[in-house]
């Protein structure tokens, strides 16, 4: 494909391609193992996340859960496992919580995978606090994505899949009529409260974080860099 251009239409095309390739996992024989979320941005962070560029009339507001993105994979040597960037200790925490007899997560994970779909979940746990603490360990269904083409199932179908298996799904609701006032309330939330995410009809997500959350996250990143 040649060198990565820095400016112009080709640069924008390369940037879109990199976003779509985020997190792709492959088996050793080259088969696609997992296509989790592509990269998303904060509101106002890029040109495409300015309010005038977003189809707000068709968007939903979904809760932004504090935790770690988790998704299943079928490995020849291990069978059904949960992963993050790899089979991390956090992913193994989630496995120990849900991949046990009597819970419906095995069917939720395995059946879509066989059909070429990837369930994407969020592990919210006191064992792995990020900024906002959770009162209990939960694995919540966020989305379901087609492995081959990257399209997302509509959120109503995601909710229906979660109900069938008796597991929690991320809550979604239409945007309020007074969007500007709602946005101001979100951005003024304290660190102890979750923020929100705009879910667009395409499955694209735009994050809305409170100013307090952003400051806390920046402080934690500075501490990590100094370790």
**Token pair listed for 49:** 């996340």
The CATH number of the domain where 182 resides is what? 3.30.470.30
Give 127's pLDDT tier (boundaries 50, 70, 90): low
Q: Residue 12: inside a domain, yes or no?
A: no
Q: Residue 60: inside a domain, yes or no?
A: yes
Question: Given a cut of 60, is residue 203 above it in pLDDT?
Answer: yes
Give 131's pLDDT tier (boundaries 50, 70, 90): very low
Q: Residue 8: inside a domain, yes or no?
A: no
What range defines the domain where residue 72 resides? 22-226
Residue range 211-222, pLDDT digits in tens: 766 565 544 444
Question: Given a cut of 80, is residue 130 above it in pLDDT?
Answer: no
Number of domains in the chain: 1
């Amino acid at each position: 494909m040649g060198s990565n251009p820095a400016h112009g239409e080709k640069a924008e095309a390369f940037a879109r391609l990199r976003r779509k390739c985020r997190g792709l996992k492959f088996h050793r024989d080259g088969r696609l193992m997992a296509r989790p979320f592509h990269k998303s941005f904060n509101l106002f962070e890029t040109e495409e996340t300015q309010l005038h560029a977003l189809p707000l009339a068709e968007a939903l507001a979904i809760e932004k859960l504090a935790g770690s993105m988790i998704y299943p994979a079928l490995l020849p040597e291990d069978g059904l496992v949960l992963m993050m960037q790899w089979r991390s200790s956090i992913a193994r925490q989630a496995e120990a919580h849900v991949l046990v007899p009597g819970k419906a997560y095995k069917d939720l994970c395995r059946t879509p995978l066989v059909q070429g779909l990837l369930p994407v979940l969020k592990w919210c746990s006191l064992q792995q606090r990020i900024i906002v603490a959770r009162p209990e360990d939960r694995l919540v269904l966020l989305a379901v994505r087609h492995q081959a083409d990257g399209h997302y199932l509509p959120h109503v179908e995601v909710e229906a899949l979660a109900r069938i298996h008796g597991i929690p799904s991320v809550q979604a609701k239409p945007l309020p009529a007074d969007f500007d006032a709602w946005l101001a309330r979100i951005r003024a939330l304290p660190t102890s409260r979750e923020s929100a995410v705009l879910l667009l009809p395409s499955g694209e997500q735009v994050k809305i974080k409170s100013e307090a959350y952003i400051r806390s996250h920046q402080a934690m990143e500075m501490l990590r860099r100094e370790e």
